[in-house]
Amino acid sequence: MALGVVVGFPLFTSLALTTQTSAHGAVVVTVLPAMTAVFAVLRAGERPPRTFWLAAATGLVSVLAFVAVTGAARGALSPADLYLLAAIVLCGLGYAEGGALARELGGARTICWALLLSLPVTLTITLVSAATHPPHGDARSWPAFAYLTVVSMFLGFFAWYAGLARGGVARVGQIQLAQPVLTLLWSALLLNETVPPAALAVASLVLLCVILTQRTRTAIKPAAAAAHKPHPASRT
């Protein structure tokens, strides 16, 4: 799990975004919910029904079509795209492993243990990087960096892994389908960017697909359910 969400996804997305735009990255990262569902089957022992796969596929195609039509997807496959694909594979694996582990440990303990086990590597790299390339930023950069550190990469995972454990990795993972459209809406609220009318239609369709995936019941293989049976002390 640490390999996927602590190291892999942040590292490879950062490498990709040094040469590609965030809009282009949003196109590729849209595949993440589907990758999460695949690893939920392979690693978390889940067996979603056909209606789940149909709703998930419809949402994925809708978002991809939207970003393609609006011009976010441009250019041929590049090394940055390979970085993004590597990030997606590792992140999907990290979500599935973490969601399964959170059934036993709980969401907060899961991400805290992942960060603790990664600390020897991340701390060493941080110190070497700071010594060779001292960090610098303006008044807007540091608050953004603090938000990413405290909320996106830490506190947010408390709720995320708790949700994956309770609702199922495959099913809850599909909520990510709304991320590209929500990003567009937030850009309008925070950055005064124009939201095309098609965005509202796509948002409604994606929301419907997400609702359908949440109404399906995902079975868990008996062996996986027994291996990740919650301990009474971890249910809180």
Instruction: Please state the domain extents for the chain.
Output: 2-215
Helix (H, G, I), strand (E, B) or coil at 179: helix
Average pLDDT over residues 52-60: 79
Higher pLDDT, 218 or 138: 138
Q: Tokens representing 180? A: 């590209």
Q: Which of 221, 200, 8 is nearest to 98 (CA)?
A: 8
pLDDT for 85 beyond 90: no
Would strands 46-47 and 219-220 be described as parallel, antiparallel, or unpaired? antiparallel
pLDDT for 123 beyond 60: yes
Query: Confidence class of residue 236 from pLDDT cuts 50, 70 and 90?
Result: very low
Distance in angstroms (rounded) separating the CA atoms of residues 43 and 123: 29
Higher pLDDT, 9 or 65: 9
DSSP state for residue 31 in the 8-state scheme: T
